[in-house]
Amino acid sequence: MMTESEFLQHSDALFAHIEDQIDEGGWDLDCQLAGNVLTIEADDGTQIIVNRHTPNQELWIAAKSGGYHFAEQNGRWLATRDGSEFFAVLNEALSAACGEKVTVAGFPA
């Protein structure tokens, strides 16, 4: 398990990575980071929220498809309910929101 400081540094770097990948990909998605929350919005107003929950050291995604909690396991962020991988869920939610295939490359835990 990471220290709280390591988790905060890692999640900050992860949020920046997601923003950079979206900017480089040229998809119709806008990112806004405010504190612990990265809001990604499609042209039609659909939002995907990525945030961190520091006490549990979890990353969360909220999208039309549902809410997901991810915990670090052996260097990967996996959903606590079904073991789905963070970037697989994120890419699916982003693709659904903007109507085109979005691929944000993975980022090590």
Total-model pTM? 0.94
- HEC states along 39-91? EEEECCCCEEEEEEEHHHCEEEEEECCEEEEEEEECCEEEECCCCCEHHHHHH
pLDDT of the residue at 109: 63
Q: In 10 A of CB 101, how many CB atoms?
A: 10
| pLDDT for position 107 | 76
CA 60/CA 52 separation, integer angstroms: 6
Per-residue confidence (pLDDT) for residue 89, from 0 to 100 = 97
Q: How far apart are CA 27 and CA 3, in angstroms?
A: 35
Mean pLDDT by 10 residues, the chain (109 residues): 92 95 94 96 96 96 96 93 96 96 85
Residue 29's pLDDT is what? Answer: 97
Contacts of residue 29, defined as CB under 8 A and 6 or more positions apart, other chains included, come to 22, 40, 41, 42, 94, 97, 98, 102
- Separation of alpha carbons 74 and 31, rounded Å: 29
Query: What is the model's pLDDT at position 72?
Result: 94
